[in-house]
């Protein structure tokens, strides 16, 4: 297995990969990204990630020269070059290269990066024992500034500060509210609770990223006959829940056992959460295969 970076057609080892100093994401956070998992030599939910990416490009006005099918094929090719069985793809698209805030200063096509690496967001034991979470003081950006459903690089400054606050408190994650005080998401994950057998998660209108893993869990739960509701929620709902867990491409599905030093349910990963985890792990055996590329 190799850790590789494909950048605008050039492949280099991750350790020596570079980007232009005047890349618009490097200068202003003007870029989009997707994190995509590789399981068992297959890319998980590739098409869903690419659909979200290309909508973001359209929304931000990027003049993409590479169409979706071409980028899709290139991702699979680079995965084959890395010969990776289980890993993590970081896909970046930025407006391009040019100094100056005005998009008119960018005269190049969008910069495209495909990074093949590995990522473990939490230690393995946390999937068995669960995460302790705090409510952070940082709020998600309101849609009047930048809609949270847009996976924009620049918006993650809020989330980094919130994660830093959680780290200082010794917590595994930080819960972020919106400006009205309703539950939105965690710094890098969506949140779910079980209450009286019903699976609940914050409504998309509450300023959260529409996570690919979030949507997968909703689909799997409904297929399994579990009632799922997207609702407006407060901290009360989280603290009064029977069980809770977090989802994300990097996080996968991980139990949450407390909020602000108050245990949720019996303070242990619940049986319903474990069932969702087993459903998700079975689903990861599906995906888009790629063939190893030999020199």
**Residues acting as catalytic residues:** 151
Q: How far is CA 250 from CA 8, 195, 269, in A?
A: 25, 26, 19
* Joined tokens for residue 285: 């055996």
112's CB contacts (< 8 A; 6+ apart) are 7, 8, 66, 71, 92, 93
Q: Please name which of 246, 206, 209, 213 lies closest in space to residue 56, comparing C-alpha atoms.
A: 209
For 179, the token pair is 């400006």
Two tokens, residue 280: 């998700």
Distance, in Å, from the CA atom of 290 to the CA atom of 279, rounded to the nearest integer, reads 24
**15 touches 3 (CB < 8 A):** yes
Q: What size, in residues, is the chain?
A: 295
- At 239, list the tokens: 């603290």
CA nearest neighbour of 24 among 90, 91, 112, 89: 112
């Amino acid at each position: 297995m190799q850790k590789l970076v494909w950048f605008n057609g050039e492949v280099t080892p991750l350790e020596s990969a570079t980007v232009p100093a005047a890349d618009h994401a490097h200068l202003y956070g003007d870029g989009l990204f997707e994190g995509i998992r590789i399981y068992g030599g297959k890319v998980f939910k590739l098409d869903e990630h690419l659909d979200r990416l290309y909508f973001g490009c359209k929304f931000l006005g990027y003049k993409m020269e590479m169409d979706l099918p071409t980028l899709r094929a290139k991702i699979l090719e680079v995965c084959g070059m890395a010969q990776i069985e289980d890993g993590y793809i970081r896909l970046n698209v930025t407006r391009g290269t040019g100094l100056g805030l005005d998009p008119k200063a960018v005269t190049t096509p969008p910069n495209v990066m495909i990074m093949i690496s590995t990522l473990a967001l939490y230690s393995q034991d946390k999937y068995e024992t669960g995460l302790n979470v705090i409510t952070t003081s940082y709020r998600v950006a309101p849609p009047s500034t930048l809609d949270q459903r847009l996976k924009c690089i620049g918006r993650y400054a809020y989330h980094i500060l919130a994660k830093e606050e959680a780290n200082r408190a010794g917590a595994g994650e930080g819960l972020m509210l919106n400006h009205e005080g309703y539950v939105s998401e965690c710094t890098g994950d969506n949140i779910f609770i079980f209450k009286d057998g019903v699976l609940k998660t914050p409504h998309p209108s509450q300023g959260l990223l529409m996570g690919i893993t979030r949507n997968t869990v909703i689909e799997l739960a409904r297929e399994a006959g579990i009632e799922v509701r997207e609702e407006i929620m407060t901290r009360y709902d989280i603290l009064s829940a029977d069980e809770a867990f977090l989802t994300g491409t990097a996080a996968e599905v991980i139990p949450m056992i407390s909020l602000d030093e108050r245990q949720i349910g019996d303070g242990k990963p619940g049986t319903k959460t474990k069932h969702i985890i087993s459903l998700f792990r079975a689903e990861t055996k599906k995906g888009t295969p790629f063939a190893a590329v030999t020199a």
